[in-house]
Amino acid sequence: MRTSSGVAAVTAALATVLVTVVGTASLWMAPASAAVAPLVSAASGRCLDVAGNTDTAGAALQIWDCNGQANQGFEFTSAGELRVFGGTRCVDAYGGQTAPGTKVIIWSCNGQANQKWRQNSDGSVTGGQSGLCLDVNQAATTNGTAVILWTCNGQSNQRWTSGSGGTTSPTPPAGGGPCDIYASGGTACVAAHSTVRALYRSYNGNLYQVRRSSDNTTRNIGVLSAGGFANAASQDSFCAGTTCVITVVYDQSGRGNDLWYQGSSVVPGSSQSRPATATSESLTAGGTKAYSLYINPGNSYWRDGHLTGVPTGSAPEGMYMVTSGTHVNGGCCFDYGNSETTRSADAAGAMDAINFSTQCWFGGCSGSGPWVQADLEWGLYPGGSQSWNPNQRAFTSKFVTAMLKNNGTSRFALKGSNAQSGGLTTLWDGGLPAGYSPMKKQGAIILGSGGDCCKPGGGANLSAGTFYEGAIVAGYPSDATENAVQANIVSAGYR
């Protein structure tokens, strides 16, 4: 039986113009001419690719790691064609066939109906003659998987993001933040949190809320300007002469995925958790003062986001956070990411969260840490198995970038870096552990604890860690998008 994995739509529509299809009497909506760019599969993060990198009529299409070469540079023309190799060849439905399973190749451009294509608002690419979708065969995600025509079904192996692949980072939007970069790569943020700065160029709202002990009143702490950094002076004046805690970190994505401390009235049925002290750590970012969310054992934040865009089931997703390599411990569990709505350890694959700690399961880490790992429930994974991952390494710098992405069915990747300089190090990019395919994500968001915290009788909340910023995105981000996010983090000037 032919199967495909589900995914949320991740890309916006291209502009369209009416053109007459050669050899037919009907009109076809074709994308307006656009720049040459990769087409990246939402299921795998790999690029549409001409097999063998050969400019030869009849060469088949497949998926392959994005590399920026000419055989991965495609252009939708105003004539409704999908051209490659600098416009010398057209994507073609083999032999003019219209049945599901038809091979997709390149051929000399001839204007015929089997060379007409359109990218739709959901990211699918349909043939003008057949009405079928460009499809990664059998929903596979490995290099060399053939691309064919298949009945459109809305699954992730039929969705393509234009312009986010290759080895070169996409140009970040002018004055943009990480979530602008993710959006430009076709993987929009569904949750965005920071006590330090706006993660969108246009965000001019609140970052977090503090509550002071002297009278239990609260104040929202916003940004100094749209797209800018936190107004720490507002917190300083409000908390002068007393102590303050951070009760909520607001979601900047507009989806309402605010993170409230477990134990608050906003998180029903929670206990065992209290809000973090607001003034434990100050820092400088963007040349101005800010505060971190400085988590100690007993602090945890949570949100049920399964109805507000946070991926569930086997839908692909990505995430990052900026944390610290100097405030860590081995307690369970300093996580940020997707967790159970039940706040129980439900099953392998029920979680998909970044873990950053000195805790290591299965003996899969080298040294004393801290390490970037994946908390997938029933295990912290430094790689794709319970054995040692030779690519794992510790990140001990003051500021650390940690990234995780998971296509939900077969592949996940872990990356880390110094958040003040340099590029990302890939720690793992390969298969999911045995028993974790497909993923069974529930769509809650956790920060500062494991998935089975914090309700009466729930798991312990023993972790320590620091959170400066982070986001969760729908879809499988390309390497180039993640490289651009890292460059943006470095440019933020954490000190």
127-176 pLDDT, tens digit each = 999 999 999 999 888 889 999 999 999 888 898 876 544 333 334 445 58
* Non-local CB neighbours of 183 within 8 Å, separated by 6+ positions: 189
Judge whether residue 371 has pLDDT over 70: yes
Q: Is 81 a catalytic residue?
A: no
Q: Is 335 a catalytic residue?
A: no
Q: Which two tokens stand for residue 244?
A: 């303050």
- Return the domain boundaries, the chain: 16-162, 178-491
- Asked whether 329 and 368 are in contact (CB, 8 A), the reply is no
- Asked whether 450 and 335 are in contact (CB, 8 A), the reply is yes
pLDDT per residue as tens digits for the range 61-91: 999 878 778 899 888 887 889 999 878 899 9
Of the residues 122, 258, 452, 479, which is catalytic?
A: 452
* Residue 358, CA distances (Å) to 266, 338, 371, 448 in order: 31, 21, 6, 14
pLDDT per residue as tens digits for the range 439-456: 999 999 999 999 988 887
Mean pLDDT in residue range 271-283: 93
* Non-local CB neighbours of 362 within 8 Å, separated by 6+ positions: 379, 380, 381, 386, 387
Q: Which residue has the higher pLDDT, 249 or 37?
A: 249
Domain 16-162 in CATH 3.40.630.10? no
Of the residues 135, 377, 479, 482, which is catalytic?
A: 377
% of the chain surpassing 90 pLDDT: 71
pLDDT value for 175 = 58
Distance CA 151, CA 252 (A): 37
Amino acid identity at 298:
G
pLDDT per residue as tens digits for the range 209-236: 999 999 999 999 999 999 999 999 999 9
Judge whether residue 369 has pLDDT over 90: yes
- Asked whether 399 and 422 are in contact (CB, 8 A), the reply is no
- Asked whether 185 and 480 are in contact (CB, 8 A), the reply is yes
Q: Which residue has the higher pLDDT, 335 or 32?
A: 335
CATH class of the structural domain 178-491: mainly beta
* Non-local CB neighbours of 174 within 8 Å, separated by 6+ positions: 201
Kindly report the average pLDDT of the chain as a whole number: 88
Cβ–Cβ contacts within 10 Å for residue 387, how many? 11
